[in-house]
Amino acid sequence: MKEIIKVAYGPSSENYDAKFSFKGEDYRLKRLGVDANVDLALHLLKNFRHECDAFAVAGFPPILKIGRETIIHPVYKQLREAAGTTPVADGTLLRKTSFLWALKSLLKREPLLLSQKKIGFFCGIFQADFLHFFEEHTSDLVFADLYFSLGIPKLMHSSRQLTKAMGRLTPALMKVSVGKKFTKDYDALIFRTPLMREFHRCDVYIIHKTQLDYVKLWPLEGKTVIVDSLDRFTKEKLVAAGAGRIISCFPEFPAHPEIGCAALEALFLAHQPDKVLDEETLLQEVRSLEAHPTIIETETKSKTAQFAFVIHPLTQKQLFLVPGMKNFSNLPIARGIEKMMGKVPGFYYCKMNGIKSEFNGQEVEGELYVLPATPKQLLRQDPESIYRRIHQLCLLAHSRGTNIIGLGAYTKIVGDAGVTIANRSPIPVTTGNSLSAAATLWAASYGLERMDLVKKGADGRYQGTAMVIGATGSIGKVCVRHLCHQWEKVILVAPRPYKVLDLVDEMKGHCPNTEIIGSTHPDKYTPDCDLIITSTSAQGEKVMDIAKVKPGAVICDVSRPFDLGLDDVSTRPDVLVIASGEVELPGQVKIGKTLNLEGGAVYACLAETALLAMEGRFENFSLSRELDYDKVIEIDQLARKHGIRLSAIMGHTGEITDQEIALCREHALKVRLT
């Protein structure tokens, strides 16, 4: 039987003597706590150095790397010398080898765990080898090393600043007494002052298990704490502080929770024939355990899921419905006010509640935020300016407990369609375009069924022609792919010829039996089209001549503002024009202020955000101008599952009743006979 002696700086009350099998060999692991008595630790090492296979030392100052310099505390040298020729492990090599591996493994499961979060380090110099990894995920790092090591009430905000400061203070660090137990009070009054209060505002904290022995915690409700390893005492301390989540990057040994980093490294060391351990060997040993990070959810989750959504006025008229703007609507300087408001920061608008899943009863609440800019202003400004203002809304929503945020109308069109915003946001982001695409197809199907003027062939496809204007956009492209499977002939229209041709070639690969034509102008083909879907960012400018549209055609206008004006639509009572994209959420939905929609209808992009919260899918879902067709299918299934459905068919002036659709059909048949 091999024997490991663990000499720990901590209390002797936590001592144990355990026997177990490890990697096919029998081991005895004995812990001897010295109650911060360095002389006792040296005595134990000298006495047992010929009676064990390896030592594990825990809680003493480890070897530190500050910049290019390696710092070894005098006490550490004494411990090494006292052990003689017996191998000594302190867990440093294991942490260096496995900590990043464990974190990367964790991020595969939770990719947004660190993204744009404020991350606090109790003593970041101990994680010097990993700081570059954290800086890849966020620029918001907060280091309390000066307070932890020397009691100096000052925070630092970059690894460079940390290295520079700690390098200057190396002589002082070498003189810090190790033979006296101390506790750093992180709940002290100093942390309520401007000097230190930022540390309490972090989302995620990084700390070593041994550092926790020196720390008095403050209430950690809602915070995530990542530790290198976790034992019963560490867990109890974090739970007592109310930490929302505890993540251990160390393999869990349920039968022997006493095994920590130093002890496991000592076990690996004793297992090697030559008693030598390097990083590569150690990483292979860790992987052989098939271990994964341990996540402990200590926080009771709210029954009500939270989401946020960003809206903005679609017209100058809507702009003056924004609180405080009504009195300016009739002034001759309205256009100047529109331009000025286009640069005003966003703000909280109102709350939505009463949303409840028909599938499992999950309740959802939403908060709406307004960016007071019209489409014209959003598209004229530098995207970076819009990114910054939306990012501030993401931060605000996050601080209010929101789990995901959606982008409405032109806020998801600006720049790279949500990608940059998602990369900067502390919470997941979606444009809602997947459900918008699905709702468009719902509306198209409903309109075609009610008009009943297009027949299906033996293969189930419509024997007619469908057109998508804005075919290369995110929603348009998904509609194209769906229609190419459902129709005999599909026309793709977009302003850039090369994009149209590329899309035509792509769709012919998917649907070789469908006639697919590309064009930059719709009017040549509108007289033959039975279904037209418009999804553009034309800002209300005319995209086609409705006078040329086939009698009895169904038009789904997804664009906001509409591509077709009310005056144009009114000239064609024989054409069914649907203002698609609006849906109804399940439950008794209440919205604090108007969305300028009829009844209980909401935008499909808003509904997608609520739906993801309802499903517990807090992730970046719909982003960029390339929508994933599989995600559209998935969101369609989720919507049906939870009870989200197409609202009453809406037109430019309100609800379109079945009687009105019947009258439209009647007009169309008469025109076709003349």
pLDDT score at 497: 94
Helices then strands, counting H and E runs in the chain, come out as 23, 32
- Spatial distance between the Cα atoms of 76 and 121, rounded to a whole number of angstroms: 23
**Alpha-carbon distances of 111 from 74, 114, 201, 226, 328, rounded to whole Å:** 41, 8, 22, 15, 46
The mean pLDDT of the chain is 88
Whether 623 shows a pLDDT value over 80: the answer reads: yes
Contact (Cβ atoms closer than 8 angstroms) between residue 602 and residue 584: yes
What are the tokens at 597?
Answer: 């929609």
pLDDT at 107 over 80: yes
Rounded Cα–Cα distance for residues 213 and 199 (Å): 19
The answer, yes or no, to whether the previous bond of 345 is cis (omega within 30 of 0) is: no
Q: How far apart are CA 365 and CA 304, in angstroms?
A: 7
pLDDT in tens, 171-199: 877 776 666 667 889 999 899 888 899 99
> Are the C-beta atoms of residues 600 and 584 closer than 8 Å to each other?
yes
- For residue 445 the two structure tokens come to 């199907």
pLDDT at 656: 87
- Strands 347-356 and 363-370 come out as antiparallel
The Cα 78–Cα 82 span in angstroms is: 6
* DSSP H or E stretch at residue 584: strand 582-584
Q: Say yes or no to pLDDT of 315 above 90.
A: no
Q: What is the pTM of this model?
A: 0.64
Binned at pLDDT 50, 70 and 90, residue 549 comes out as very high
Residues 33-39, mean pLDDT to the nearest whole number: 91
Average pLDDT over residues 554-567: 86
What band does 94 get if pLDDT is binned at 50, 70 and 90?
A: confident
Percent residues over pLDDT 90 in the chain: 53
